[in-house]
Amino acid sequence: MKDLFSPGSLLTVAGAMLTVIGSVAYATDSPNVSLPTIFYGIPIFLGGLALKSSELPPPVRLTPAAQFSELRDSTGTKEQLKLLKDVVRWRYGQKAHLESSLEALKLWDEENPPQLQSIAEYDHGGRYALEMVFELGDVPREHWHQKADRLGRFFGPGLEASLEDGEADLLIVQLRQPCP
């Protein structure tokens, strides 16, 4: 259902509707309606198709946005909030969420990169924390475990990351503040 309401889908449908309305108006000899709707409809339709071909949907958000809003606002770090905001939106022209971060951490494979499958917020000892589930792609699990210490520091000062092996080729990354 979320694919239906992506910006690319909305532009494609809007452009197609304008083009059809303009074509019908042209066929019924209504130049006041046909010219503007065809003139704007075709480029909007093509722009929507271009967006649709390069879109990357947001990962599944396992916790409702309102569930941890108070904890997020009171104890969440600026970096955690920025990371959450970044991954829960539609992306265009990228192969995966957090592409540049994973490249910098050398956890990237050009042919089959890791894919962020889901993200969840949770309470870790009274502190706000994030849990991300990655499908590993062609990046070996051992590379992730070697970078475990660096992952937390990379995403923000004072953050720590812990890794848990999931089923098959999934890896769970928990990004949190240390408990006091």
Residue 117: its pLDDT value, please?
92
Q: Does any domain span residue 154?
A: yes
User: What confidence tier does 119 reach under pLDDT thresholds 50, 70, 90?
Assistant: very high
What would the pLDDT profile of 13-22 be if each residue is shown by its tens digit?
999 999 998 8
Q: Looking at the predicted structure, is the pLDDT value of residue 78 above 70?
A: yes
- Distance between CA atoms of residues 22 and 45, nearest Å: 13
Same domain, 119 and 157: yes
Query: Which residues, other chains included, contact 36 with Cβ-Cβ below 8 Å and sequence gap of 6+?
Result: 22
Same domain, 33 and 72: no
What would the pLDDT profile of 120-145 be if each residue is shown by its tens digit?
988 888 888 899 999 998 888 898 98
What would the pLDDT profile of 27-67 be if each residue is shown by its tens digit?
888 777 777 888 899 999 999 999 888 888 889 888 888 88
Same domain, 44 and 78: no
Q: Does any domain span residue 1?
A: no
Nearest to 121 by CA among 58, 67, 178: 67
Q: Does any domain span residue 18?
A: yes
Q: Looking at the predicted structure, is the pLDDT value of residue 4 above 70?
A: no
Q: Looking at the predicted structure, is the pLDDT value of residue 73 above 90?
A: no
- Distance between CA atoms of residues 66 and 64, nearest Å: 6
Main-chain dihedrals φ then ψ at residue 138, nearest 5 degrees: -100, 10
Same domain, 139 and 164: yes
Same domain, 74 and 13: no
- Distance between CA atoms of residues 164 and 174, nearest Å: 8
Domain that holds residue 30: 7-53
Q: Does any domain span residue 2?
A: no
Residue 47: its pLDDT value, please?
93
Residue 131: its pLDDT value, please?
92
- Distance between CA atoms of residues 180 and 161, nearest Å: 16
What would the pLDDT profile of 81-110 be if each residue is shown by its tens digit?
888 888 888 888 888 888 888 888 898 888
- Residue pair 143/106 in contact (Cβ under 8 Å)? The answer is yes
Same domain, 72 and 152: yes
